[in-house]
Structure 1
Amino acid sequence: MITAALIFAALAAVLHVYIFVMESLTWTSPRTRAMFGTTAEEAETTKLLAFNQGFYNLFLAIVTAVGIVAICLGHTGVGAALVFAGVGSMLAAAAVLLASARDKARAAATQGAFPLIAVVLLAVALAA
């Protein structure tokens, strides 16, 4: 069960690296603007905010990845704490997105599905 939890945590981390790329590196590109539903003017105006937000997503992915590595190296307590911190924050961000913008429910579900599964599976694996 712990292996499944780590796979979903890794998928969540990869997704958040992709979000980092979109927000911090390609924010004003037509493809990214279409993904986020912004105009060229809105993207240019919010470029610095998105750049910063993208790094939050990258840091959550890094924390999660370090936790996965720690668990794989036998440091289950420290690793689990890091994985829970990383994917738990991702899940909380998805909940905030859903609560603040119901029209972004699909984005919130996409952002939060892997972290939710990782949290549940890791909690069950550690409780066993």
Structure 2
Amino acid sequence: MLLILGSVFAGLAALIHVYIFVLESVRWTHPSTRRVFGTTAEAAEVTRPLAFNQGFYNLFLAILAVIGIVIALAGSAGVGIALMLAGTGSMLAAALVLILSDRGKARAAAVQGLFPLIAVVLLVVALI
């Protein structure tokens, strides 16, 4: 049961990180995305290559978590959990870096890190 719940939260974390990928790598200069990140049109244009790259990091973490889910549910729980923990643990670490680097980003860090945190706790307990 804990593996299923951990997989659900890993999947939710992956969905959020795919959404972040879309914002950073596809829609970075759009007005609605600039409002989300609190940046100007000029700053968005200058930082576009950085955001594009950062978005792909988020996508790769989501893919890692999803591959882990598929493998775990296909019967290789240990390998699947390890992959899910690698993905969600990295997502959680990135959220911690965000909040430690800028306390004003607490809401964004919570959105980015809550589901990965829950997934990590559930998956670790499932291993015990």
TM bracket, shorter-chain basis:
over 0.9
> What's the CA shift for 1:119?
0.3
Distance 1:91 1:105 in 2: 13
Mapped pair 1:24 → 2:38 = no
Distance 1:124 1:86 in 2: 17
The two structures, once aligned, show a CA RMSD in angstroms of 0.5
TM alignment of 1:43-82, pairs within 5 A: 43-82=44-83
> What's the CA shift for 1:126?
1.6
Matched residues, number: 127
Cross-structure match for 1:104: 105
Task: Calculate the TM-score normalised by the size of structure 2.
Answer: 0.98
Cα deviations by residue, 1:1-57 (Å, 9 ceiling, x for unpaired): 211111000000000000000000000000000000000001000000000000000
Distance 1:21 1:54 in 2: 7
The 3-state SS of whatever aligns with 2:39 is coil
Runs of 4+ deviating beyond 2 Å: none
User: Kindly, what percent of the aligned residue pairs are identical?
Assistant: 65
> What's the CA shift for 1:78?
1.0
Q: Which amino acid aligns with 1:85?
A: A
**Structure 1 residue ranges without an equivalent (≥5):** none
Distance 1:124 1:34 in 2: 39
**Structure 2 residue ranges without an equivalent (≥5):** none
Cross-structure match for 1:42: 43
Cross-structure match for 2:13: 12
> What's the CA shift for 1:125?
1.4
The 3-state SS of whatever aligns with 2:107 is helix
Cross-structure match for 1:88: 89
